[in-house]
Amino acid sequence: MPDSPLDARLSGALGGRTASAFAKAFGVSTVGDLLSHYPRRYARRGELTALAELPLDENVTIVAEVLEVRERPMRARRGSILEVKISDGSGILTLTFFNQSWRSKELRPGSRGIFAGKVTDYRGTRGLNHPDYELFDVELGRGEASVSKWAQQPIPIYPATASVASWQVQKAIGVVLDTLPALADPVPESVRSERQLMSFSRAIDLIHRPEKDSDWRTARDALRFQEAFVLQAALLQQRARLRSRTATTRVAGAGGMLERFDADLPFELTGDQKFVGREITADLASDAPMNRLVQGEVGSGKTLVAVRAMLAVAESGGQSALLAPTEVLAAQHVRSIARVLGPELAARVRPTLITGQMPLADRRKATLAAVSGHASIVVGTHALMSESVEFFDLGLVVVDEQHRFGVEQRESLRQKGHTPPHVLVLTATPIPRTVAMTVFGDLDVSTIAELPAGRVPIESFVVPLAEKPAWGSRIWQRISEELALGRQAFVVCPAIDSTVVEVGDEPDAAEVRDAADAGEAPVARANVTDVLASIRARPEFAGRRVEELHGRMPGELKDQVMRAFAAGDIDVLVATTVIEVGVDVPNASVMVVLDADRFGVSQLHQLRGRVGRGGVPGLCLLVTHAEAESLARERVEAVASTLDGFELAQKDLELRREGDVLGRNQAGGRSSLRLLRVVTDGDLILEAREAAGFVLDADPELESHEALREALERRLDESSRDFLAKN
């Protein structure tokens, strides 16, 4: 593609040293990267920052006025300390400089400026140690109107680091903008004019150098729409390219395995299962590859829908590969599929397990069954993607719990088909509509919201140990009462022992850290090792079998423990989130989650779904030390307040800190949302999708829209382009 000014290396515009500093601080390397490092807010020279609201131990950029400058000698050694008090008119912050008395000539009482540094607290006094600053310089002799305009002009405040201050970002962007030629606009002029949006070049200039508030607001509107438009165009183009390939049709015949399976089911499929089943049947009968996401509540019967699809593929002579996130879940899938199929059908399709920790001889047998075609259903973990695993005729890829896998992993399995296989993606994490459009816009989305008959509602309670420490002992008494009724219990911890957090089993690791930070949760986490010993020592559990399960255990041992728990030979299972998804023990009635604030909303909802599956009432106790009204506590209380996963998903989205919604795990590339907010911009995303659809329908390869084509290529890194090329 032709060179674009946005693709120019930052080192050519700013010099090697500055470019290196910006690359280290923000991960930017091109002119386009820098220009999309948008201001996070705007200040004015005439207004001050509310100092009382500044968070401790965080880097801040503030506007304030110098009140007082005082220098005093150090007590313990030679030198002096310069203390500068700044104010917002009510609160006071102290700036401290060591052996820099010359700054008193700059920082004079009455001067205003921007100050940046980490907020500290020394003996009850908040301050900034050795902050960076830039003072506002009002030239004398200017008219009152000019000074007023200068005082009210918005000052962009950028995301900054300790090494690169906001005003340094502003100056660097100014240097780039001064020499930037006109930019080609990826949003066609007809689309812009219909929505009265300014051009790309104008928007970039005004969002960084506004003269009044309306400048940056209208610029942001244009850039936000552009971001949504380019994103949706990429997803729709990807979807069209997938559908342009030819797949093998997979149709179940009359009187075949699928029909017999349906006839032998001891229960009636729910209305949602039937509807989604018909959608999948139509997809499989098409010569365009299916690319469908099925989302549904915990226990809604998604796996059964997938089994029906796998049987249809088996009838056509093809094979299905089911990718599971953990060995425990993969082994359980094989057992549950064999059980639901019954002896005769199971013997015909031969559900086969392939995992990385299998004994070598067993793995060789399994891979031989896959490559020879004798196994019509192959279930496994990441091991399925290894070069040693091949298929005779891969017709369907089923990905269970899509949030555990990236697009690249899904694609590597898809490539094992001689013709493009159909793809069915399952998730028990309900997805808000805006996220579905933003992250999974290349997939057809089906929803199973209806639960099968016989599911008993689960009661959920928050156990707030910060206010009610005495309730801690009641947790174990409550478990003991359930065990006395012949039932079983899960106890989940965020860590394996005092040093190991099972990050591999925590898909929302960043979210967990955010929740912990926001709620001031204790540093010491509940862990499997200590909790196991504590439970075994309690008199309520004398004679009870209490065992552990976590990710560091060998695969064979994990499987043995889960089999024993499912058989009722274990009373209490103390585990990490290795049991989060898919584990089905109908007799388990209690789920206790310790340090629940360490988990994400979706994780807690998934964990809760492990109980109440066998017709007995389910009880979920969410134990937390998080303080009342903290963000972490709010997350836990949100889960306890509703069993509606779709309501929780929206609440989770609202509680999240805005981040990389379309990050590498989902999109395969550097595609962070810059200005777009999926919580609030749903209508805009839908509008942009419709507009992008019209453009692509008229010009699928964008031959008449060079700027949009370039923007799509620029958005994706090399691995993403490889991914699209494979399609």
pLDDT greater at residue 330 or residue 614: 330
Strand locations in 58-177 (E): 59-73, 80-87, 92-98, 112-122, 125-129, 132-135, 154-157
- Residue 127, in any domain of the structure: yes
Question: Last residue of some domain: 448, 480, 502?
Answer: 448
Alpha helices, H only, 256-383:
257-264, 271-284, 302-315, 327-349, 360-372
Helix (H) or strand (E) run with residue 295 in it: strand 291-296
Contact between 589 and 482 (Cβ < 8 Å) = yes
Q: Does residue 350 come out as left (phi exceeding 0), alpha (psi in the -120 to 50 range) or beta?
A: left
What letter represents residue 647's amino acid? Answer: E
Q: Are residues 82 and 122 in the same domain?
A: yes
Length of the chain: 727
Q: Are residues 378 and 472 in the same domain?
A: no
27-30 long-range contacts (CB < 8 A, ≥24 apart) are 30/6
pLDDT above 50: residue 666: no
Average pLDDT rounded to a whole number, residues 394-413: 78
Complete edge-to-edge strand list for the sheet that includes strand 572-575: 458-464, 618-624, 588-593, 488-492, 572-575, 546-549
What letter represents residue 317's amino acid? Answer: G
Q: Are residues 476 and 418 in the same domain?
A: no
Residue partners of 22: CB distance under 8 A and separation at least 6: 10, 14, 28, 34, 164, 169, 172
Question: Last residue of some domain: 448, 475, 498?
Answer: 448
Q: For residue 550, give its domain range.
A: 458-642
- Residue 226, in any domain of the structure: no
What is the pLDDT of the chain when averaged over all its residues?
Answer: 84
Q: Are residues 395 and 498 in the same domain?
A: no
Spatial separation of the C-alpha atoms in residues 505 and 525, rounded to whole Å: 16
CA distance between the termini of the chain: 20
SS3 assignment, position 289: coil
Per-residue pLDDT reduced to its tens digit, 516-572: 333 333 346 899 999 999 999 999 999 999 999 998 888 788 888 988 998 999 999
Q: Are residues 442 and 463 in the same domain?
A: no
- Residue 145, in any domain of the structure: yes
- Residue 672, in any domain of the structure: no
Per-residue pLDDT reduced to its tens digit, 597-641: 998 888 898 889 888 877 788 999 999 998 888 888 988 999 999
Per-residue pLDDT reduced to its tens digit, 106-159: 898 988 888 888 888 877 788 888 888 888 865 544 545 555 566 577 889 898
What letter represents residue 614's amino acid? Answer: G
Q: Are residues 367 and 431 in the same domain?
A: yes
Q: Are residues 443 and 472 in the same domain?
A: no
Q: Are residues 437 and 569 in the same domain?
A: no
- CATH code where residue 407 lies: 3.40.50.300
Instruction: Classify each residue of 124-136 as buried b or exposed e, where b means 16 or more C-beta atoms within 10 Å of its C-beta.
Output: eebbbeebbbbee
Contact between 273 and 304 (Cβ < 8 Å) = yes
- Tokens standing for residue 683: 């209508």
Question: Last residue of some domain: 414, 429, 448?
Answer: 448
DSSP 3-state percent helix, strand, coil across the chain (nearest 5): 45, 20, 35
